[in-house]
Amino acid sequence: MDDLQRKVKFNALRTRVAQNVVGALPDEYLKRVVSRAVFLGVDVFLVYGPQVKNRLLRAGDLLPGVEAALRARIEKLSRDYQGQYDKIRDSMTAHRHKLELTDLMSSWNSIDEAAVCVLGDEVVDMSRQLVTECDLGKHIEHLDRVSEEFLAKHVSSMPGPEGVRFSADALALARPNTVGLLPCHPDQEKLARLLSIVDMLEVVGSLARFSVSFPMVHELMWTLLLIDGLNVIDGLYDDAEGDPALLSRWSATAHGGVSVLSRAGLARDVGIEAKARDVRNHFAAHIDSAMSMDAIAAEVVSAPLPGFWTYVMEHVRKMHEAASCDTTTCFLCMRNARLEGLTATHGGFSKPFKA
């Protein structure tokens, strides 16, 4: 099996793991957090699937009629993915979150069971046709069996939030039984988006701890953890075109927590961030075209993953400390706080994951 096929095979298995975890999770918000990994898988397949298809055709291992049918399916998958789900992958997963609040909620609610099943199943099924030197179908069937047993035992009973909660993150209003707020000051808007990333980070961190005994699920959670962790760091300190970092925004408005956040920024560990970025760029958000799967695997094994979690959460603690220093943001540090006396909320911006 050549390296391109190995990448297609690995991506298909990782996509299927994501689908299985999503199916087992009991809470719609948790399902959407993990569903983002399926869109990562679609993106990777659209890079490598056509290359493998063309190589098989040139080698005479793929009949022209079969190739034409696969080409049409790949083109349809690309059309279905582009315009909505690629935005989720680019701006809510693989890279820093830059969507404005309305667009953020709309994109979040578009993550649903139909998209996860249809797009993910197409990636897995076409990969089975393209990986010709092993029976990928049997690998998938085995993965489904062991996943079902493990997830039923460890994940499907994972407790979700009880009662009505208050949270100030940007996606709070898109969660059932959650009271949120709309940012009304520039200092609040960026912080609210970062708090949503932190919330996702804590979800995948919890799932990583639940799944230590199942390497493929554990690896998937660390994939998302690396991505979300770097999105937190970037959002705190690094300016991007059209999206200044929180430190820059607060500096411009003389926010009371600038000195705290500035000192935290000066204490950044360039080494641990660089290693995490390499893994994100070569393995998590992408599968690098210039590196072999063996080289990518070796890089992942050598990455200081537990240390990165501790590092990011220390910067999250500094973000909360800085936010508490100014009246415009001090109350935004409340996340998922139980509101006693309320049993349910009516309305909101949440949509069912399953239609």
Question: What is the C-alpha separation between 20 and 42, in angstroms, rounded?
Answer: 16
3-state helix, strand, coil in the chain (%, to 5): 70, 0, 30
How confident is the model at residue 253, as a pLDDT? Answer: 93
How confident is the model at residue 96, as a pLDDT? Answer: 67
Closest CA to 9 of 37, 58, 48, 39: 48
How confident is the model at residue 187, as a pLDDT? Answer: 87
How confident is the model at residue 336, as a pLDDT? Answer: 75
How confident is the model at residue 92, as a pLDDT? Answer: 82
Structure tokens at 246: 């929180």
35 within 8 A of 15, measured Cβ to Cβ: no
How confident is the model at residue 103, as a pLDDT? Answer: 80
Strand order in the sheet with 337-338: 178-179, 165-166, 337-338
Sorted by where each begins, the domain ranges of the chain are: 3-154, 165-338
CA diameter of the chain: 69
- pTM attached to this predicted model: 0.93
- The predicted-structure confidence for 125-149, as pLDDT tens digits, reads as follows 999 999 977 778 888 888 888 888 8
How confident is the model at residue 1, as a pLDDT? Answer: 73
Q: Mention every residue, 6+ apart, whose C-beta is less than 8 A from residue 346.
A: none
The burial class, CB within 10 Å (0-12 / 13-18 / 19+), for 121 is middle
Partner residues linked to 338 by β-bridges: 165
3 state DSSP class of 197:
helix
Q: What's the half-sphere exposure (Cβ side, CA atoms, 13 Å) at 269?
A: 16
Length of the chain: 355
The pairing of beta strand 165-166 with beta strand 337-338: antiparallel
3 state DSSP class of 338:
strand
How confident is the model at residue 245, as a pLDDT? Answer: 95
Each residue's pLDDT expressed in tens, for the chain with a length of 355 residues? 789 999 999 999 999 999 999 999 888 889 999 999 999 999 999 999 999 999 999 999 988 999 999 999 999 999 999 988 998 888 888 776 666 777 888 888 899 999 999 999 999 999 999 997 777 888 888 888 888 888 887 776 665 667 788 888 888 888 778 888 888 888 898 899 999 999 999 999 999 988 888 889 999 999 999 999 999 999 999 998 888 999 999 999 999 999 999 999 999 999 999 999 999 999 999 999 999 999 999 999 888 888 999 999 999 999 999 999 999 999 887 777 777 777 677 656 778 888 6
How confident is the model at residue 97, as a pLDDT? Answer: 64
Q: What's the half-sphere exposure (Cβ side, CA atoms, 13 Å) at 226?
A: 26
Closest CA to 183 of 200, 166, 170: 170
Terminal C-alpha separation, the chain: 40
Question: What is the C-alpha separation between 221 and 154, in angstroms, rounded?
Answer: 14
